[in-house]
Amino acid sequence: MIYKSEVFPVETNDSAENQYIQGLNSTEIIKQISILSTKYKEVLILYYYQEMSMSEISEVLEISINTVKSRLLRGKGMLQSKLEGGK
């Protein structure tokens, strides 16, 4: 079973973002990740599910670390938008 904390590690503070993430359904997160573009999906899965470092992802996908960072940021933004009901 996949837990929300595996997808989005929760920090020790109780920010509104962390409270929101804690309340999400794991199945819905996985569903929304699966419909993202491949370039965002693969980076999110490798980083959060496979717990690979950005450097490792860079090597595996043969892209720069800056591209990994960019795709993580954009992918998380798209995922958050989808989970909040956006398209």
Q: What pLDDT is attached to residue 18?
A: 55
Q: Is the dihedral of CA 51, 53, 58, 64 positive or negative?
A: positive
Q: Which sequence spans correspond to the domains of the chain?
A: 4-83
Q: Which is more confident, 87 or 10?
A: 87
Radius of gyration for the chain, computed over Cα atoms and rounded to the nearest angstrom: 13
Specify the pLDDT at position 49: 85
Q: Is the pLDDT of residue 68 over 60?
A: yes
Domain 4-83 in this protein, CATH class = mainly alpha
The rounded percent of the chain whose pLDDT value lies above 90 is 48
Tens digits of per-residue pLDDT, 42-57?
A: 999 999 889 999 999 9
pLDDT at position 17, please?
57
